[in-house]
Chain A
Amino acid sequence: MDKQLEKLISLHDLDVMIADLNRKEIRDKEADMGLKTEGALEELKELREAYTKSIARKWRGLYSQLTRHYGNAVVPALMGRCTGCLTRLPTAVCSDPERNSRVHTCPTCGRIIYWAD
C-alpha cells in the first residue's frame, strides 16, 4: 500500500478518535469505566499535529478540504463503488491488483479511496 495512503487512513482514524472523545456521551462512558479521558484529547490533538506533518502537502491539503466539505475524506471502495457517494468506480482501477499502490480519488466526489485487503 502507498505510504501516503496509509498515512491518510491513519489520520482519518485519528480524527475519528478525537471526534469520539469530544462527544460527552462517549467521554462519560469511558470515564465511567475508569479510562483516562482527561488530557487524552489534548494528547491526541498534539499527536495529530505531529503526524500531519509527515503527510505530503498535496494530500494534506486535499484531506483538509474534503473533511471540511464532507466530514469524511477517506472511504473504502466496496463492490466497485465509492462508499462516500456510491459512484461506480472505473473497472480498470478496481481490478488492478496494485490499486492501493497509489492514492486514488473518486471521480465524482473526489474523496480518497482505498480497497480493503
Chain B
Amino acid sequence: MESGNRIDAIEELLGILPIGEKTVSLLSGALEVREQVGATVVHRGIALPHCRSILVDKLAIAVGRSEKGIQWPDEKVNTIILFISPVKPNGPEEHSAFLSHIASCIRKSGDELVSAGSGDELFELLNFEPAKLED
C-alpha cells in the first residue's frame, strides 16, 4: 500500500472494491467513525477496520500490506484487513460469523499474518479465496 495514514489507507483499500466513488466516500466516513471511538488494532501489526452498511449487498473484504507501516494511531500496523458486511433483515449473523472467523485466524496465525511474504500466503492464512472482480 502507498498510504501513509489511516484515513488514506481506508480509502485506498475501499478503492479496490467494485463500488462507486460516492459509496467509497460514505463507507470511509463510517469506518473512520468506528476508528475514532476505538482503534481496531487486533494484534501487533494488524488493523481490522470494519462495519455493517446498507451500502453493500454482500460481504466486502479488502486486505492490504504496507511495507513502511501506517500509524493507527498509537501503534504502527502493516497488515490491514478491511471488511464491510451488508445489513440484512435477519440481523448481524453474517457479520458476527465473519468476526469469529477473523478472530480465530488471528489467534492461530497472527504473527504469520504480519510476516506473510505474499498476498497468496496472506489469503491462505485467512482462509480466503481471492475473488475475481468484474470489469
Contacts and interface: CB of A to CB of B under 8 A. Distances in A.
A117 B92 CA distance: 24
Interface residues of B, number: 34
Chain A residues touching B, majority SS = helix
A44 B30 CA distance: 11
A14 B54 CA distance: 11
Contacts of B38: 35-37, 39-40
A29 interface: yes
B92 A26 contact: yes
A14 to B, nearest CB: 7
B3 interface: no
Interface string B86-119: 0100001001100110110010000000000000
Contacts of A117: 19-23
Interface in A32-91: 32-37, 39-40, 43-44, 47, 72, 74-76, 78
Interface of A: 1, 6, 9-10, 12-14, 16-17, 20, 23, 25-26, 29-30, 32-37, 39-40, 43-44, 47, 72, 74-76, 78, 100, 116-117
